[in-house]
Amino acid sequence: MEQSIQIFVVDDHPVVREGLIAVLETQEEFSIVGEASNGAEALPQVLEKSPDILFLDLAMPEMDGVQLIEALQAKGNATKVIIFTIFDTDERIMGAIKAGAKGYLLKGASRKEIFDAVRIVHAGGSLLQPAVADKLFQHISQEITPLTPRELEVLKALSKGSKNSEIATALFISERTVKFHVSAILSKLNAQNRTEAVQTGIKRGLIDLS
């Protein structure tokens, strides 16, 4: 018989905590080794028991989820963390992942998603619920150096098919300066050419075609 996966659950809402534990206990290979209502209460127990998986809420009194992850890592604890929360904002997701969480589920996840997360994370992988992954990818895709007001003007001109000379005349700048701006735009938008830069600009809402 395979060794059970030891799980510790931390959530300040008793009904949610008890409900999650009840769901997890339906799987023979899962073993609940403890529970706590906040990070401060959980810290000494997790350090003592070193469970395989820690199901962790984010917003809790005394010590929140991210603070608990950081405290555990500072102590060299190797427990793998799966966030289980209602928060789906970019900042919350990024904060938890940067702190070291290996999984991120919303409190509406199906039983299968919960079970899959435990097994995948325990095996050394990481798992983000599809809705969470979409949020994260959107956040990452938007993490680019913003265009300056002048670069936006040049990009809009490019979208109209204007040549460097025409842009220079319209904006009262030299063609050399236009070339400099175009080069900066391609770099910031990670585009290979003007057409790709315009397409990226449209996708990011930088260009209004109306």
Residue 130 pLDDT:
62
Which domains does the chain carry?
Answer: 5-141 (3.40.50.2300), 149-203 (1.10.10.10)
pLDDT 10s digits, 38-55 = 999 999 999 999 999 999
Report the residue count for the chain. 210
pTM of the entire structure? 0.63
Contacts with 85 (C-beta within 8 Å, 6 or more apart), sequence order: 57, 58, 59, 65, 92, 104, 105, 106, 107
Residue 95 pLDDT:
81
CB atoms within 10 A of CB 137: 11
- 208 vs 121: which has the higher pLDDT: 121
Give me the sign of the Cα torsion angle 92, 93, 95, 96.
positive
Lowest mean pLDDT among 137-146, 147-156, 193-202: 137-146
Residue 140 pLDDT:
53
CB atoms within 10 A of CB 146: 10
Residue 183 pLDDT:
93
Burial of 9 (0-12, 13-18, 19+ CB in 10 A): buried
| Mean pLDDT in residue range 131-141 | 57
**Through-space distance between the first and last CA atoms of the chain, rounded to whole angstroms:** 65
Asked if residues 114 and 26 have their Cβ atoms less than 8 Å apart, the reply is no
Residue 20 pLDDT:
96
